[in-house]
Each structure stands twice: as C-alpha cells, then as structure tokens.
Structure 1
C-alpha cells in the first residue's frame, strides 16, 4: 500500500533541492534520477474504468512496470495499493502482476489492446528521513507531462511513508508548510495526463458541497485547480469556499476583498502566504480525525 502526501510548489524555483528544506532530521540515501514514464491503457480505457493506472518507468537502462489499483485520495493524502515489477521491455506484461487482480480472461484481453497514451518526464531528487519512529521517502519532482503537442508542468514534493505511523506525514507536512508556502495536491500525474491527452474530461467545477471538512477541502482544491487552468467560472464557488474559510483564517479577508475583481491574481497572492496551505492541512486533519471516530 502506497501512502503519500503530494505537495505543490507555487514556483519551480521555490525549492531547487531537498537540502534547502528545513527537515527535523538528517537526510540519507540522497539520489538524483532522470525519470521517463510512459502510461498505457486500451483504446476504450479499460484500466481507467477499473480505477487502475499502468506505467513503465525508465531510469537509465533500467525498466520497471507499475500497476496502481483502486485506492483513496483525501485532500493531498493518497493511499493506493501498488505493484512494481522489473521488466526488460518498453511494453507492459500484465501476466507479471498477481492473478487475483483480474477476472478470468480479463488480463489477456486488456494485454492485447495496450498502447502508450501519454508520458511524464521529470528530474527526481529523492532521500530518506527517519523521524518519530517512522521512515519517510522524500521526492522532489520537476518536469513535464506530455500528450502529443501538449504539455503541463510538474512541480511537486511528495512524502511517502516507508514504514511507521501515517500521522507522521501530516506532522512533517505542517513543518514544511510553516517554513514556506506549499499546498496540498489533489490529482496524480496519471490523472492529469489522461485529461491532457483528452482521454478523460476535465474535472467539473464544484458548485455545491456539504458543510463538513472533506467536502469543503475537495471544493477548495478542485475549484482552485480549475481557476488556475483559466476556467473563470470556478472563481465564484472558490470565493465562497475561501469566504467560509476566512472565519477561521481572518488573514484572508484583506485579499478576498479583491477576489471578485481579480480572482486569479488574488489567488496567487493567497497561495504565496504560508498560512494558505496550513489552512488546507487543518481541514485534512479534521477529516481524518472524523473518519477514525
């Protein structure tokens, strides 16, 4: 089971290397890798309909195929079963994954139709951190998602639990957000790639939501992403989310006074404040706390 928190950088120059961040302990196993990832599916997106993601990752001469299956994404916390198998080809071999993942005949039927859908190419700096009895893998990713002539930037910092208590990821995220502006990332690279390639429609703007932390956080993140992508119709519902949040975060109010007139500029100013990501993290903590009760 892969459990990670995805954090988004406001500026690709914000963090140029992991050593720039304030970590609560010494980093070990620091590596740099130029990674190329090719994502596969069938013409009718059979894997996507099963909520699976399949890729082959290239690092130098090494190849590894990965299958991620149905999991859960809450705010910026991602938890999904993951299967990794070394492979000597640039085309996936589904028979190398556990048979229990497929119904009879399903594996062979999908295998025969697989083809490359899109690519992600990025530089990854990774390291390990031991803290509070747990071990966390850190990954700083910078690069591009490619789908034909289209591209989309990757500027992410991922914290993946190797062993220990998942709560450590939240505590570590809080320390990072306190030091510099970061925000929770909702979409995986694969989800973004499917949309960029036109294989999946853009996520809908959220106009109505329940009065509880999970729904509020989802509306916040989804409408934020749509507004940043240029969809001005997301400004009004995002403004409502932020107005509601400003009751617990009064510092937002001054910038929200400009939101109706200049929503994208005002959003950029809000994101530049370290308290913006911390407010998202507070909602995520509330959501996870209510789930555990």
Structure 2
C-alpha cells in the first residue's frame, strides 16, 4: 500500500491571555491507502485538534508547526481555495458536533445532494438516488422522508448519521471521523460500524477514526494510537496493543473497561497550559521513578510498536 498521509512533528498551541495551551505536541504518524488508524484517549488529549489540523479547520489564532503532507502536498502551504476543494471530495470529514456541519436553513437532502453536485457532473436525479442509497445504508428505512427534514427537526444522533452519509457519499480517499458514534444508541452505533465495515471491504479509503469507544476502536482499527496530554504515548498494530499494552496509561485505559473490572486511573490529566516536567503521565503512574519525574521520555520503538515510557525502554 502506498502512503497517503504523512504527519511529522505536528504541534498545535493556543495563546489565551498570559497562558499558552499546548494542545498537541510533536505528533508524527503516516497513513497508507486502505488503512484504518484509530486515535483514542481521554477528552482533551488532543485527538480532535489533530483532525482539525489535517482538515484545515483550526481557528486562525492556532499556532501550528510541523508538516502535514497529503499525496505529497503540503496542506499548510496550498491556497485555501484548493484545500476547500479537497474537503468533501478527496477528504471526507465527520465532525464531533454535527450542528457545525449542517446548515439549519436547508433540508438534509439538499445539503447532501450539494456535495455531489459541487464535485461531480451528475444530474439532480442521479444525485437524489445516491443520497437515498447513502441514507438507507445509515439505517433510515424511508430516505425520502429524511431528505425533506431540516436539521432542527432531527435528533443529534440522526444528524450525526446524516453527516456520515454526506462525508462518505463520494468515496473520498481519506475519511476523518471525529467521534462518529457520539450521541447514538447501541443499535445506531451498529449501523455506523456496519457502514464503516462496508467501506473497508468495498472501497479503497483510508480512515482516521477518533473515538473514546474502545470497543469500536478494537473492531475497526488496523493501527491504534493512544494519546495522553497532547502526545502519542503508544502506537502500533491494534490487535497486538489490545492483547498486550505496554505503556502504563494504555494499561490503565484498558483496565477501566467493564470487562476488565472498571478500575479507574487515579488522578486527572494535567491542564494543557501547565504541563508537568518529565513524563506527563508520571503524577498518575504507580510505577514512576525519579527519572520519570525529571526527564521527558521520547517516543521510541519497542518490539512491534512505538512507546513513550522510560520504564518500558529500560526493561
């Protein structure tokens, strides 16, 4: 598989008054065609900021450094007009908050159809058939009725499924899905998973899936990246990491699952404006040593994955 996306040393900060919020620090990864990479971690760890950075949807005040290359194009240097054309056609985006993606003044059918008409030469009739098919795959039994709805007439979960249908309808090369199952009940989560599995089976689409639902991540991911306090702390083959996590935070995250006894990780994540010295996880880690409190660990290869941990690298 050829490389589709290459991110090197991505950092994103925001200045708020006298404080600097370091939302993402020195994140690097690549993504190949037809590969699913899942980013997981606690709320506020920087997952969504990465999605917005790739999509070009960060606010103007964001301070961004590093490289984001898509098909060898530097996305941070291309004109905004070109980036807008990429979004919706080659790069599909499912935002965590569907209200940001849907215009309350237009029907659902109109908005999804416009995605097709803007980027293809298909007729309105052909576009309507495509919209109906996409909505049917998302679990809507009567697409004709749903196409006539306005966003304010639908629940948040329904609007999320409309956004997923719109984002995938043109089979983009890259789909960025930020918490696509948020606000859905279990049956609708299954509809979303089924659609993602269909995409993985039938289409050559790379996917970055951002989720807090570890069950969804385990079912869909080829690779998984565990994030904590703006950094990747472990990344590698999803099956191997679920079978044998290395980083203490990854172990704690998996230990909080119901099937593992719902054991919580003690403490809370550090505020991103006041990052602790040494390892960012050390205040919550039961195995910390003096070096963990003093020196910041680098992300390095151990066996079959990357890990950011002094303890793991010393064993």
Structure 1-normalised TM-score? 0.27
> When you count strand as a share of all residues, which structure comes out higher?
1
TM-score (norm 2): 0.26
